[in-house]
């Protein structure tokens, strides 16, 4: 996904900021006209770009999470996952990050397929795992990373439990201690 620049970026940032401000003020159901007013843009700009309030919330949440917790390339899987988990941990200790996560969860419907933004985040993780595998490191699956690292951090926020500094490190180390299955043995046909 390309990052728009110029006026488009300013509009996106203003709208994202307006959403966060309204959510932080307790206006969980703020409609697009109110968001537009707060952002200083025309409601049609929001409808044209995002189509719906739920799509806007998803974009704001994922954009924030991608910017606050990029996946670094440190040369080791542990380093990459620690850098990422620490960013997620910081975002989940931040009030606005917590608000956006709760709003995101509230807008996702169980019958929907993963949306582009969420799929892109999974692709980021997969690329990191692929690099580690190419270096010869044993790697977990994306699902294991989500189950062992991301889910516990998110659940703490959703259940209003503290995300203590160092939680991400504990979770990554726990994930990396799980034994990995050896690849299937060769059937002797070469290749």
Task: Report the pLDDT value the prediction gives residue 40, as an integer from 0 to 100.
Answer: 95
pLDDT at residue 154 tops 80: yes
Name the percent of the chain lying above pLDDT 70.
87
Question: Residues near 107 by Cβ (< 8 Å), separated by ≥ 6?
Answer: 53, 54, 57, 58
pLDDT score recorded for residue 188: 43
Q: How many CB atoms lie within 10 A of CB 15?
A: 24
Between 134 and 29, residue with greater pLDDT: 134
Q: How many angstroms separate the CA atoms of 28 and 103, rounded?
A: 8
* Euclidean distance between CA atoms 151 and 155, whole angstroms: 6
Confidence of residue 59 (pLDDT cuts 50, 70, 90): confident
Q: How far is CA 9 from CA 15, 70, 76, 131, 164, in A?
A: 10, 19, 33, 31, 33
pLDDT at 186: 41
Which of 3-7, 65-69, 92-96, 156-160 bottoms out in mean pLDDT, i.e. has the lowest?
A: 3-7
Question: Cα-flanking dihedrals φ and ψ of residue 39, to 5°?
Answer: -80, -15
Residue 181 is predicted with a pLDDT of 65
Domain with CATH 1.10.10.60 in the chain: 7-51
* DSSP category for residue 180: P
Identify the pLDDT of residue 187.
45
Q: Give the whole-angstrom CA distance, residue 174 versus residue 85.
A: 12
Q: Tell me what percent of the residues of the chain surpass a pLDDT of 90.
A: 53
Q: Averaged over 144-162, what is the pLDDT?
A: 94
- What is the tens place of the pLDDT at every residue in 123-133? 889 999 999 99
- The neighbour count for residue 38, using CB atoms within 10 Å, is 18
Separation of alpha carbons 16 and 61, rounded Å: 9
- Asked if 140 and 126 touch (Cβ cutoff 8 Å), the reply is no
Neighbour tally for 72: CB within 10 Å: 15
| Sequence-ordered list of residues with C-beta below 8 angstroms from that of 64, at least 6 positions apart, any chain | 16, 20, 91, 96, 97, 100
Is 7-51 a CATH 1.10.10.60 domain? yes
What's the pLDDT band for 115 if we cut at 50, 70, 90?
A: low
Give the pLDDT score at 1: 43
Q: Give the mean pLDDT of the chain.
A: 85
Tell me the whole-structure pTM to 2 decimals.
0.76
Which regions of the chain carry the CATH code 1.10.357.10? 53-177
- Read off the pLDDT band of 117 (50, 70, 90): low
CATH node for 53-177: 1.10.357.10
- pLDDT of 2 reads 44
């Amino acid at each position: 996904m390309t990052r728009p620049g110029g006026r488009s970026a300013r509009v996106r940032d203003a709208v994202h900021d307006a959403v966060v401000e309204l959510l932080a003020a307790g206006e969980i159901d703020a409609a697009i006209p109110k968001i537009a007013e707060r952002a200083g843009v025309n409601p049609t700009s929001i409808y044209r770009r995002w189509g719906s309030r739920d799509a806007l919330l998803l974009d704001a949440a994922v954009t924030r999470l991608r910017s606050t917790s990029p996946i670094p390339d440190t040369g080791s899987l542990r380093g990459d996952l620690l850098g990422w988990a620490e960013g997620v941990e910081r975002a989940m200790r931040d009030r606005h990050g917590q608000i956006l996560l709760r709003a995101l969860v509230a807008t996702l419907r169980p019958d929907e397929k993963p949306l582009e933004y969420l799929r892109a985040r999974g692709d980021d993780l997969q690329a990191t795992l692929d690099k580690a595998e190419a270096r010869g490191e044993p790697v977990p699956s994306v699902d294991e990373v989500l189950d062992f690292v991301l889910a516990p951090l998110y659940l703490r926020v959703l259940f209003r439990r503290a995300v203590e500094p160092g939680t991400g490190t504990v979770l990554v180390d726990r994930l990396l201690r799980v034994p990995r299955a050896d690849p299937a043995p060769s059937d002797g046909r070469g290749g």
